[in-house]
Amino acid sequence: MDNIYMYYFSGTGNTLYLVNQLKECISEIIIIPIASLLDVDDIVIPKSKTIGFCFPNHAGHIPIPIKIFLEKIRLEGDEYLFAICNSAFSKCFAPDDFVKILKKSGCRLSAYFNLIMPDNHTIVAKDYKIPDKEEFKKCEDQSQEKLSHIKEVIMNKEKFIEKDDKPAPFPVWIDKILGPIIFFLIQKHPSILLKGRLYADSKCNSCKICEKACPANRIVVNHSRPIFDYKISCFGCYGCVNFCPVESIQVASKWFNGRSYSSKNSRYPHPYASVKDIEKQKTKGI
Ligand SMILES: Cc1cc2nc3c(=O)[nH]c(=O)nc-3n(C[C@H](O)[C@H](O)[C@H](O)COP(=O)(O)O)c2cc1C
Ligand code: SF4
Ligand code: SF4
């Protein structure tokens, strides 16, 4: 079989864990981080008949970097395209997002899967708890089982669009009206929505981990607390929030994302993911 190019984006390591696991069962897979390609205007996809995308569910949709990436790539039109989304609890409209974006290139998704992984949106739920060892093991076992099914579907190039009938994170009409406006503002005028949203409190020790973890390169730490560049679009991955070793980065409450419990709740990076792994996503040529 030809190489399978697998493009991924991961904020806190859940997606990275899944692509690495899939690569262990399918040796033809070549993993490519999307964050390393976003500043390239014309992204050339190596000629391959099988191309995959793996990403987290962000507010019921594909994350901003996946959207930017899909809009930039050129495809032949006859590739077998598959997508693997991972969510904490709710439905993701990824197949609809793919249809909309790929329409221009005359391509369509052949297979779509959704896995459940621990929630890294640790700041929105009042009673958020990091999964303990047992819960995490259960999640690992479930994903292993699902990955063997995914392998079978991909290797046989079957059509398979997983039915995702969990509840949507927002009423669909709100999503339809506000979603495109929020997407537009975050991409084109990020400061309008994001100014003051993320900040580091007095616990910050200037270790620069947040700067390394930020896939959008919008954090700079110069001998003091991090400066967030509000002219650069934020991917909303919460890598900075979750990897900060002293839980210094806080998320301010704002109307479009409800209350923030960042000062009370603990943080979740995937237990096998290091900041180095996340930072590596920005390295070109891997
Ligand atoms: C900004 C943001 C929004 C999210 N929205 C949803 C959501 O709508 N539904 C859901 O089930 N999970 C949601 N999540 C949780 C992530 O999809 C989930 O934890 C995923 O496994 C994280 O993958 P990563 O570690 O590769 O970034 C959200 C996470 C973030 C940071
Ligand atoms: S990771 Fe945390 S402690 Fe380190 S520089 Fe960033 S905010 Fe400060
Ligand atoms: S600022 Fe934080 S949430 Fe935004 S892209 Fe960077 S790491 Fe992700």
Over residues 175-189, the pLDDT tens digits come to 888 888 888 888 888
Integer Cα distance of 60 and 89 in angstroms: 10
Say whether both 128 and 225 belong to one domain: no
Tell me, in angstroms, the distance from the centre of ligand 1 to residue 119's CA.
6
Tell me if 129 is assigned to some domain.
yes
End position of a domain, from candidates 116, 139, 161: 161
Tell me if 21 is assigned to some domain.
yes
C-beta of 13 in contact with ligand 1 (< 6 A)? yes
Task: Report the pocket of ligand 2 as residue ranges, CB < 6 Å.
Answer: 200, 204-210, 221, 226, 244, 246, 248-249
The boundaries of the domain holding residue 265 are: 191-280
Q: How many CB atoms lie within 10 A of CB 250?
A: 19
For the stretch 18-76, pLDDT in tens is: 999 999 999 999 999 999 999 888 787 887 789 999 999 999 999 999 999 999 998 88
- Token pair in block for residue 144: 């292993």
C-beta of 88 in contact with ligand 1 (< 6 A)? yes
The domain that holds 276 is classified in CATH as 3.30.70.20
Pocket test for ligand 2, best of 199, 206, 218 (most atoms within 8 A of CB): 206
Tell me if 175 is assigned to some domain.
no
Q: How many CB atoms lie within 10 A of CB 204?
A: 17
Say whether both 130 and 45 belong to one domain: yes
Region 127-155: what's the mean pLDDT? 94
Say whether both 147 and 203 belong to one domain: no
Tell me if 9 is assigned to some domain.
yes
Ligand nearest to the CA of 194: 3
Which residues are registered as beta bridge partners of 5?
30, 51
Tell me if 148 is assigned to some domain.
yes
Q: Are 83 and 54 in contact (CB under 8 A)?
A: yes
Say whether both 34 and 156 belong to one domain: yes
Say whether both 26 and 116 belong to one domain: yes
The domain that holds 110 is classified in CATH as 3.40.50.360
pLDDT at 200: 96
**Which residue is associated with the tokens 């960042």?**
262
HSE of 105, CA atoms in CB hemisphere, 13 A: 18
Tell me if 28 is assigned to some domain.
yes
One DSSP character per residue, 146-168 reads HHHHHHHHHHTT--EE----SPP
Integer Cα distance of 66 and 8 in angstroms: 8
Number of domains in the chain: 2
C-beta of 94 in contact with ligand 1 (< 6 A)? no
Say if pTM beats, i.e. exceeds, 0.85.
yes
Tell me, in angstroms, the distance from the centre of ligand 2 to residue 156's CA.
46
